[in-house]
């Protein structure tokens, strides 16, 4: 069972995830339709925009990190995102291989990514860096 403070963090994390998806989608559409950029370039830039948004909002709002930013923290964040992308892609392709419709497989991959990112951020990237006086659970 989740403690109240952990449930609150998880709810904030889910909201940030929704915002990240919105940033990713908006940047992608702007680059493709307004600028005329190709999909691969737009996807790369929009994904990076979502990751930057994720880092800032999760660091300062979800997990309330008050300490100084470090290159090690940023490297851990990037590594978790690479692992999350790989895990989500494996789930997507695996579910499709077993015959699941692509849209439903994508939903499974999103849940996988959510779990990998939350665990990685909470337990490794932002671990022990919460606002002083607040207990980590």
In this predicted structure, the answer to whether residue 134 has a pLDDT above a threshold of 60 is no
Domain ranges for the chain: 1-62, 67-131
Q: Position of tokens 């493709």?
A: 32
pLDDT at residue 15, as a whole number? 94
Helices (H), the chain: 4-29, 39-57, 71-97, 102-120
**Nearest-angstrom CA–CA distance, 101 and 13:** 28
Please report, in angstroms and rounded to a whole number, the separation of the first and last CA atoms in the chain.
12
pLDDT at res. 131: 46
Per-residue pLDDT tens digits for 83-129: 988 888 888 899 989 999 787 788 788 788 888 988 998 888 877 65
pTM of the model: 0.65
pLDDT at 128: 60
Q: What are 24-69's pLDDT values in tens digits? A: 888 888 998 999 988 778 878 887 888 899 889 988 898 888 877 7
């Amino acid at each position: 069972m989740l403690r109240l403070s952990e449930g609150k963090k998880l709810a904030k994390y889910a909201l940030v995830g929704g915002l990240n998806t919105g940033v990713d989608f908006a940047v992608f559409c702007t680059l493709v339709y307004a600028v005329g950029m190709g999909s691969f370039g737009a996807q790369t830039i929009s994904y990076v925009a979502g990751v930057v948004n994720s880092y800032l909002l999760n660091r300062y709002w979800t997990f309330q990190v008050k300490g100084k930013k470090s290159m090690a923290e940023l490297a851990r964040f990037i590594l978790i995102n690479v692992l999350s992308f790989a895990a989500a892609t494996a789930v997507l392709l695996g579910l499709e291989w077993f015959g699941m419709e692509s849209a439903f497989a994508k939903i499974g991959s999103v849940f996988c990514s959510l779990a990998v990112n939350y665990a990685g951020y909470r337990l490794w990237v932002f671990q022990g860096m919460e606002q002083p006086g607040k207990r980590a659970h």
